[in-house]
Amino acid sequence: MVKREPRGHTLPLLVTLIILGVLLMTFDVRLQGGGVVGVLRTGIQTIIAPVQQAASYAVNPVADMIDSLSNLSNLREENIALRRELAEAEASLVGVQDQLARLEHLEQLYGMEAAGDEIGRTVANVIGRPDAFDAALIIDKGTSDGLVVGQPVVDTNGYVVGTVRSVTRGSATIVPITADRQALTVMVGDQIGSLLSQVATDEMRLEILTAREPVLAGDEVLTSAVSASFPAGLPVGVVIEDAAPSIDVLNTKVNLFVKPDTLRLVVVLAWPPDPITASSGETVLPAETSTTTTTTEGDGE
């Protein structure tokens, strides 16, 4: 026979435990000096804090990425603006450098004019530069400025460039000595030789047929007094390599002072002073010789 256990004690026990728990909670809250709301808030915060932390881990990187993209866009705009300002500044700098270079050329030219010689000079702008098909220079001065065929041309330092090959009213063609088939008579020390152009190079070959002594690297090469194309004493270049005569012939290379493709201004020399002689290529006797000859003729008469 099965016996049934009494159930009447379970409910009163549960109620008693609930009441006891509420009393203990109230007593604990009063001892801590906080209210029920504070306790609830603390409990809720304890439960929610991990959730908030997890959400921050997920949300903060997204927010940081959006901020980074916004900052990147701003940086790109600033970068474009700075590049534009840099380009404008570089353009202004190029303009200033251009003016300074031109001023330097003019100062050099003024120094040439202050030297006091009697050779007339015509300053001209280079408006056409040498290329792979044509080594000639084109300048913006011509017959209306007194230029004639055969006149020598130098740069603003007085270094030899070439000669006038053809002239129009408002322009002239200059053939550099590196492209001229005719040899240029020069001097190295007291030895007279010829400068000959070479194919596909700006260097020229120095040939001295009656060499008496060697030439050394760094020796200056000048135009000779017996040259029919240039006044005496104009700088041409320097010897590149030491060379000694073989029997009585000497050959070496010369590096020129002037690079025609870099010129912006040139100076055309009114030499010889007689334009007819310049055009014909004849050599003019010095003024003193002409004067002496005239005097002698006068005495003879």
Q: How would DSSP label each residue in 233-281?
A: T-EEEEE-S-B--BTTBEEEEEEES--GGG-SEEEEEE-SS-HHHHHHT
Tokens of 54: 């997890």
The span from the CA of 57 to the CA of 104, in Å, is 68
Q: Are 231 and 224 in contact (CB under 8 A)?
A: no
Q: Percent of the chain having pLDDT more than 70?
A: 62
pLDDT at position 30, please?
56
CA dihedral 121, 123, 127, 128 (to 10 degrees): 30
Phi, psi of 21 (to 5 degrees): -65, -45
In the predicted model, is pLDDT for residue 173 greater than 80?
yes
Q: Percent of the chain having pLDDT more than 90?
A: 39
The span from the CA of 217 to the CA of 143, in Å, is 41
The span from the CA of 101 to the CA of 157, in Å, is 13
**Which burial class, exposed, middle or buried, applies to 265 when counting CB atoms under 10 A from its CB (0-12, 13-18, 19+)?**
middle
Average pLDDT over residues 241-260: 93
Task: Choose between 140 and 103: higher pLDDT.
Answer: 140
Q: What is the mean pLDDT of the chain?
A: 77
Cα-based angle 182, 184, 189 (whole degrees, multiple of 5):
160
Quickly state the pLDDT bin for 235 (edges 50, 70, 90). very high
| Cα radius of gyration rounded to whole Å, the chain | 48
Q: Are 121 and 268 in contact (CB under 8 A)?
A: yes
Quickly state the pLDDT bin for 294 (edges 50, 70, 90). very low
pLDDT at position 74, please?
80
pLDDT at position 34, please?
52
In the predicted model, is pLDDT for residue 110 greater than 90?
no
4-33 tens-digit pLDDT: 555 556 767 767 777 776 666 665 555 555
Quickly state the pLDDT bin for 148 (edges 50, 70, 90). very high
Average pLDDT over residues 174-200: 92
Q: Are 152 and 172 in contact (CB under 8 A)?
A: no
Give the 3-state secondary structure of residue 163.
strand
Q: Are 187 and 215 in contact (CB under 8 A)?
A: no
Q: Are 122 and 146 in contact (CB under 8 A)?
A: yes
